[in-house]
Amino acid sequence: MPALTGLAYGWECALARRWPGTAMADDAKAPTRAPRAAVADPGPREYAALNDAMDRYARGEAAAFSVLYERLGPRLRGFLMRVSGNPATADDLLQESFLRIHRARGAFSAGAPVVPWALSIARNVYRDHLRRKKLRDPAIAPRYEDDDDSPEERLPSTAGHPEELAVAREAADIVRRALAALPVSQREAFVLLRFEHLSVEEAAEVLGTTATAVKLRKFRAAEAIREALAKRSEEAG
C-alpha cells in the first residue's frame, strides 16, 4: 500500500507540525502529548485476578462483585463511552451491563476469559439501547450521542501551554468526530482493538463474527479516521 503509506506520511508530517502530541513530533520539544487510552492494556496478572474474581462470583461469593466492578468497570465504561460517544449514557449502560453480568454469572464457564465475555454483554446492552432509541423515534439513525454534553468534559486536557492544549483538544475532537461518523460495527471493532487492546480473535468473539471481518472493519475505520485527520491538516495548511 505505497500510496496510502505516502499519504499517511504526508499528513503525519503536517500533523506533527500542527500537533506536537503525535508520533512524528519531537517529544523533547513538545512535552504536551494528547493522553492515550485511560485504560492501559492490563497484564496477565490483572487478567488472572479478574478471572479469579469472576469465578468466585459465579460460585456465589457476593463480595467478589465489588472486585469485579472495580477492575472490570473502567474497561466496560471505556468501551461504552467510545462507542456511544456520551459519558452520561455510558455510565447508565455500565450499570445495566453489570446487572446483566450479575444475572448471567451462573452461565459463565469456569476458566473462560472474563474480559471478552463481559465486553460481549456490554455490547449487547449498547445494541439494545440503540434499538430502543430507534423504536422511540424510527427517523433517527444510530449515531453518537454527543449533543447533550459539553465537549470540554470529554476532550483531553494538558497542563501545558494554552495553545498546545487547544491543539491537543482539536486533535482529539477530530478523532471523536471521525469515530462518530463510522458505522457502529466498524466503530466497535476499532474501539476493541485500538483502545481495549483485545486481540483480533478476542474482538471476533465479542462481536460474534470472524477474525477476517474484524480486520476488515478495523482497516476501514482506520482509513476513515486517517482521512479525517489528513483533511483537517490540509485545511490547517
Partner 1 sequence: MSRPEEDLLNDLPDPFAEALARPLPAPPAAAALPPAKTRDAVGRLRLAALLAAISYEGLLLAITGLRSDLGAAPRAALALLVVSPLIAGGLALYAASRTSSGASVPARVAGWTALAASIFAAGAVIAEGSGHAGHAASVWPCVLMTLLLGAGPLALGLFAFRGAFATGAPARSAALGVACGALAASTLALECAGGGFTHLLVGHGAGMLAGGLAGLALSRSQRA
Binding residues among 120-139 for partner 1 as defined by CB under 8 A:
120-121, 124
Check binding of 109 to partner 1 (CB under 8 A): yes
Positions in 65-84 near partner 1 (CB under 8 A): 65-66, 69-70, 73-74, 77-78, 81-82
For the residues of 83-118, what is the DSSP string, one character each?
HH--HHHHHHHHHHHHHHHHHHGGGSPTTS-HHHHH
State the minimum distance, in angstroms, from the CB of residue 94 to partner 1. 7
- Residue 61's nearest CA partner among 23, 24, 102 is 102
State the minimum distance, in angstroms, from the CB of residue 182 to partner 1. 13
Single residue of 42, 154, 160, 184 touching partner 1 by CB under 8 A: 154
- Residue indicated by cell numbers 453489570: 98
- Residue 183's nearest CA partner among 135, 233, 215, 143 is 143
Single residue of 27, 38, 163, 234 touching partner 1 by CB under 8 A: 38
Taking the chain, what is the end-to-end CA distance rounded to the nearest angstrom? 25
In the complex with partner 1, the residue whose CB is nearer, 139 or 197, is 197
In the complex with partner 1, the residue whose CB is nearer, 12 or 139, is 12
In the complex with partner 1, the residue whose CB is nearer, 61 or 140, is 61
CA-based max dimension of the chain: 60
- Residues that bind partner 1 (rule: CB under 8 A) add up to a total of 82
Give me 27's grid cell: 517529544
**Piece of 42-50, 116-124, 134-142, 181-189 that binds partner 1 (CB under 8 A):** 116-124
| Alpha carbons 84 and 80: distance in angstroms, whole number | 6
State the minimum distance, in angstroms, from the CB of residue 178 to partner 1. 9
